[in-house]
Amino acid sequence: MSRATLQNLLTRMTAPTAGGVAVSDFATAVRQMSALFTFIASAHGVYRTVLGAASMTDYVLIAACGLLLALTYLPRALTREWFVQLIAGAWILALGAAMYGRVADTHGQSTGALLLLLSWPLLLTAYYCRMAFALGYVGLAITTIAVESALSDQLWALPQRIAAVVLVFGTLVPLITMVRTRSELSVKYLQDAAIRDPLTGLLNRRGFEQSLRAAAIIARYDDFRHLSLLVADVDYFKLVNDSFGHAKGDDVLVEVSTILFLEAPGAQVARIGGEEFGIILEGVKTSEALVLAETLRRAVEAAFNNTSTHVTLSIGVVGTDVYDGDADDLMRHADHALYAAKSLGRNRAIPYSDEVLGILERARVRQEEASRTQLATLLTLAEALDLRDVSTSLHSRTVADYAEGMARELNLDDELVERIRLAGLLHDIGKIGVPDSVLLHPGKLDDEQWALMKQHPEIGARMLNHADYIDIRDWVIAHHERPDGRGYPYQLQGNEIPLGARILSVADSYEAMTADRVYRASPGHEYAISELHKWSGAQFDSEVVAAMVRFLTAHHIGQVPPEETLSFDDVDDGFADTLAA
């Protein structure tokens, strides 16, 4: 099932509508066509009536179009309101066809009656095809014409006049019922909209808390009624927003919410925070909830496994069969379990327990110490790598400076700026696995040497494959990718390349073009800038290049020439790419 299909299914099943059922674009089109046919048939019938050439066929056609209009408007759920509106609509249409046909054929109409009849299509348009009101109005207009003609005709006996009055009330009653039903449905719509998240169509925080409190009260006073709660958080979501923009982040949230909704039938699913979801499972034990949580985790992991937005799901689980308490207690326990899942490396489901959380807290302290030790080791290796070649002794540090400068020019938050700077220090860590004969080779590499050199992003990614460095790992492995898809190792294109990797690419290439090497002198600052402009949009991200130019200008690093008109008619691998390898 495609992503668009899943999103449409979720929207149709959960979006609040006046009739309780979301109306598709196809149904809207049918409804509008029915309104058009009804208008044309009515206008034609009035025109023939004025000319005195109308027949019963004209009015039967009007009635048929009106009935089609009513059926396409009415909700598809067999509710009480549906039957009320259907019966009322059928009554009005049958009454109108019979009475209007008889009056038109026998007596004609007054000018006022004709104007009354002609006004209903305008009302229909003004109310955007709200048939309950419009059909009631046309029925009232038709009946008014019939009664006016009946009372003005002395040939009609008293029984017919009484029948006409009865018909008037018979029309008014369903009309009032329709208007009242419309008002009730509008109130229901507003009430439902107040507890729905507009982006995903799921319950919002308010609706979630109301449902959780109600379910917790029932579970607390019914020993045989279990209640479980899942609190899930999308891992690395902030990175998605920072790298690809908030629109992409919204797409991720919609897709995750669709998966949760479809994989947890019967559950109450809510979006309770930016990237946080809550799932209320009534009648479900903790063990069963944990199985469902693992199913949800795997489904999200599979959905994003081969995409540039590689997100996962961490889930905290708690149930009243293990820990009794009110709604606030359950929420607090689920949050603690979620924290445990995050602390253990994300992408996992953890049930709440005091013992587990105690062990996790001690493990967290040890993990932080180990992480700091590992980072120190990696930074030492990166510095040692630079020292293998005296001409590159400051390469990683300089790349980190440039990367930090561009990140600040792009208005990224301080935490992300620090992560990007750290990535600059570690971006070439994988070259530790490249032989000196290749790494220190003067001049252009042959095909075999180039193949060995191109392995360094993947080697670096394996060295950074730790929970604390997942974002940096993804940037390092992609820092030789190109927006035009001609980079390596995965030939990613455009926004498939994480923002951190796009920043590292520009910083790495600029440093390579402005630094002297044993086998060549630096081409110079102006040449480097012209190369960045030349390959902007093909080898380099254009926004990142612009940020680099702003950074260099602000810090008076060389004389930056004005941007040239870019041309991509003769794109090759680019000198900058070769230098930065």
Of 159, 289, 294, nearest to 229 (Cα)? 289
Cα dist from 272 to 218, 260, 331, 356, 456, whole Å: 22, 13, 11, 25, 42
Residue whose token pair is 């360094």: 456
What are the average pLDDT values for consecutive 10-residue runs of the chain, which has 581 residues?
46 40 52 66 64 61 61 50 54 50 47 46 44 51 50 48 52 58 70 84 92 89 83 89 85 93 92 94 90 93 82 92 83 88 84 69 62 64 59 78 93 89 87 79 81 88 78 91 91 90 93 75 84 91 94 74 38 47 55
pLDDT of residue 267: 92
Residue 536 DSSP label: B
CA 502/CA 495 separation, integer angstroms: 9
Q: Which residues contact 6 (CB under 8 A, 6 or more apart)?
A: 255, 258, 259, 262
| In CATH, 205-352 is 3.30.70.270 | yes
Grouping H, G, I as helix, E, B as strand and the rest as coil, residue 232 is strand
pLDDT of residue 393: 64
pLDDT of residue 193: 77
CA 358/CA 218 separation, integer angstroms: 31
Residue 68 identity:
L
Following DSSP, what letter does each residue of 398-411 receive, concatenated? HHHHHHHHHHHHTT
Phi-psi region of 180 (alpha: psi -120 to 50; beta: other; left: phi over 0): alpha
Pick the CATH number of 370-580 from 1.10.3210.10, 1.10.3720.10, 3.30.70.20, 1.20.1050.10: 1.10.3210.10
Q: What radius of gyration do the chain's Cα atoms show?
A: 35
**Could you check whether 205-352 and 370-580 share the same CATH topology?**
no
- Segment holding 118, helix H or strand E: helix 111-126
pLDDT of residue 69: 60
Burial of 484 (C-beta count, 10 Å sphere; 0-12/13-18/19+): middle
Residue 225 identity:
R
pLDDT of residue 13: 41
Of 232, 249, 253, nearest to 241 (Cα)? 249
CA 79/CA 51 separation, integer angstroms: 44
Single pTM value for the model: 0.45
- Break the chain into its structural domains and give their ranges: 17-193, 205-352, 370-580
Say if residues 45 and 25 touch (Cβ distance below 8 Å). Answer: no
Pairing, β 268-271 against β 276-282: antiparallel
Q: Which residues contact 214 (CB under 8 A, 6 or more apart)?
A: none
Q: Which residues contact 570 (CB under 8 A, 6 or more apart)?
A: none
